[in-house]
């Protein structure tokens, strides 16, 4: 989508501090981190929200989670612990309408989060 921030990052028109990329996903550091490790993992293909995911997106969603766990290992938080967060729509805190997973770690994380 022409006005999607994350699509522009995928296209390379907006810079990002990338930590992982493959044919289906791209991962980069969040510009306003909420933990010492805070990375966003996005699909290269635009999907606005989790409500827009279909059965045909099973492989894409699996790739998203596999990339998130790979990022956690590469950034050294896999063994100590990390959290994956996905928000769906405004009331849940989604601000960029392109499906994404937050990988948070590097410190003890509290529960409940909200």
- In the chain, the percentage of residues whose pLDDT exceeds 70 is 98
Question: Please, which residues bridge with residue 103 across strands?
Answer: 39, 84
Of the chain, the percentage scoring pLDDT greater than 90 comes to: 95
Distance CA 59, CA 69 (A): 15
Distance CA 85, CA 27 (A): 14
- Tens-digit pLDDT profile for residues 71-114: 999 999 999 999 999 999 999 999 999 999 999 999 999 988 75
Name the active-site residue from 38, 98, 100, 102: 100
100 is catalytic: yes
| Better-scored residue on pLDDT, 2 or 87 | 87
Neighbour tally for 12: CB within 10 Å: 8
pTM for the whole structure: 0.95
Report the candidate in 9, 29, 11 with the shortest Cα–Cα distance to residue 19: 29
pLDDT of 66 higher than 60: yes
Report how far apart, in Å, the C-alpha atoms of 42 and of each of 23, 73, 112 are: 11, 17, 24
CATH superfamily for domain 5-105: HIT-like (3.30.428.10)
């Amino acid at each position: 989508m022409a006005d999607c921030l994350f699509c522009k990052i995928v296209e390379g028109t907006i810079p990002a501090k990338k930590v992982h990329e493959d044919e289906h996903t791209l991962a980069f550091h969040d510009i306003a981190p909420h933990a010492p490790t805070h990375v966003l993992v996005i699909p290269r293909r635009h999907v606005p929200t989790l409500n827009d995911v279909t059965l045909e997106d099973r492989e894409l969603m699996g790739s998203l989670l596999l990339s998130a766990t790979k990022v956690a290992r590469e950034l050294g938080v896999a063994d100590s612990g990390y959290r994956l967060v996905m928000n769906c729509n405004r009331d849940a805190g989604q601000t960029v309408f392109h499906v994404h997973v937050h990988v948070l770690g590097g410190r003890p994380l509290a529960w409940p989060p909200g």
